[in-house]
């Protein structure tokens, strides 16, 4: 007569088989869907995944060059004196040439060039600054101060992008383009503090920093300030603080 055998060994055997089966079934199962939901559960669309590629950096660099062109050619920036106007005409030519030089670098990597000013920088900095200069009672000085900040941020953009760029050849190309904006910043600084006295960093009678041709030993990636606009009743003027493009201002 065959009767079921119940022993410690058979229990262990059957228990082990069940455990193995459980492991197999668990592996085949799906993840729990989470907490149950009550009411409407609107569907969501995931944001597109984007990468900071060399092409993105080139497009952004081009957008910053376009930003400089848009800013410097704005009617508000024509309020400078004759020397400033002549210098800005040179700068405009340089920025247009830089933007054009970036185009084949983008095309060679299968990207599309960016023909507009940097969207976020235009909205956050430039539009407001140009409006302040247009209404300013010190427009001539404001033009120089704002152009100085613009040139600083353009040069710093290339410098900042070197650390993000994969191709050494592109890093070289970017820093080739950084030379002119760096030089333009010096021309504008010399309009404020001319001669050799304005070369080195210095402070004025009140202890405030004087605009100098060589503010630091190494290229700064900090902010670039321009104090512009009409003085308020409290004696203050607006400080526009510009920074190099970050992840939220790249042109993907």
Partner 1 sequence: MDTQAPDTAATEPRSRRALFASLLAAGAAASAPLLAGRASAAGDSAPTTTAPPDRSAADVAVINTLIEREASMVATYKAAVGSVSGDDLAALLTIHGHHIAYVESLSAYLGTEAAKPSGTRLALTVSGGYSSIATQMAAHEAATAEAHIAALGSIQGINAAALVASIITVVSRHRAALLVSSGADAAAL
Nearest to 219 by CA among 249, 194, 245, 244: 244
Among 56, 77, 87, 211, binds partner 1 (CB under 8 A): 87
Task: Determine, following the binding rule CB under 8 A, whether residue 97 of this chain makes contact with partner 1.
Answer: no
Q: Is 98:42 a contact under the CB 8 Å cutoff?
A: no
Between 130 and 159, how does the x/- string for binding to partner 1 read (CB under 8 A)? -------------------------xx-xx
> Contacting partner 1 (CB under 8 A), which of 114, 125, 146, 184?
184
Please report whether residue 19 would count as binding partner 1 according to CB under 8 A: yes
Task: Give me 224's structure tokens.
Answer: 């670039």
* CB proximity list for 116: less than 8 A, separation 6 or greater: 63, 66
Kindly state the smallest distance separating residue 60's Cβ from partner 1, in Å. Answer: 16
Q: Which of 39, 42, 48, 195 binds partner 1 (CB under 8 A)?
A: 195
> 203: which 2 tokens?
């402070």
Q: Which residue has the tokens 């760029």?
A: 165
Give, for 147, the enclosing helix (H) or strand (E). Answer: helix 139-162
Token pair 């092409």 is at which residue?
A: 55
The DSSP H or E segment spanning 162 is helix 139-162
Among 52, 101, 103, 186, binds partner 1 (CB under 8 A): 186
Q: Which is nearer to partner 1, 25 or 35 (CB)?
A: 25
Compare residues 122 and 250 and give the one whose CB is closer to partner 1.
Answer: 250
**133: how many CB neighbours lie within 10 A of its CB?**
28
Is 111:58 a contact under the CB 8 Å cutoff?
Answer: yes
Nearest approach, Cβ of residue 181 and partner 1 (Å): 9
Q: Contact residues for partner 1 (CB under 8 A)? A: 1, 3, 5, 7, 9, 12-13, 16-17, 19-21, 23-24, 26-28, 83, 86-87, 90-91, 155-156, 158-159, 162-163, 166, 168-169, 171-172, 175-176, 178-180, 182-187, 190, 194-201, 213-214, 216-219, 221
């Amino acid at each position: 007569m065959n009767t079921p055998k119940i022993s410690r060994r058979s229990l262990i055997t059957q228990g082990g088989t069940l455990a193995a089966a459980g492991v197999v079934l668990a592996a085949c199962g799906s993840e729990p869907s989470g907490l149950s939901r009550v009411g409407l559960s609107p569907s969501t669309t995931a944001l597109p995944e984007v990468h900071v590629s060399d092409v993105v950096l080139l497009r952004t660099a081009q957008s910053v060059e376009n930003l400089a062109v848009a800013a410097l050619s704005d009617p508000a920036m024509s309020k400078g004196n004759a020397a400033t106007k002549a210098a800005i005409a040179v700068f405009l030519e340089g920025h247009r040439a830089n933007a054009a030089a970036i185009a084949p670098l983008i095309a060679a990597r299968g990207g599309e060039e960016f023909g507009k000013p940097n969207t976020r920088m235009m909205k956050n900095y430039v539009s407001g600054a140009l409006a302040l200069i247009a209404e300013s009672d010190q427009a001539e000085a404001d033009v120089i101060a704002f152009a100085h900040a613009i040139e600083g941020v353009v040069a710093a953009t290339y410098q900042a992008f070197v650390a993000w760029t994969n191709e050494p050849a592109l890093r070289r190309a970017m820093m080739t383009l950084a030379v002119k904006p760096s030089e333009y910043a010096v021309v504008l600084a010399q309009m404020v503090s001319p001669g050799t006295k304005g070369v080195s960093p210095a402070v004025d009678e009140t202890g405030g920093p004087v605009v100098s041709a060589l503010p630091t030993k190494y290229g700064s990636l900090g902010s670039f300030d321009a104090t512009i606009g009409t003085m308020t009743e409290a004696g203050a003027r607006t400080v526009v603080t510009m920074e190099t493009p970050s992840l939220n201002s790249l042109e993907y």
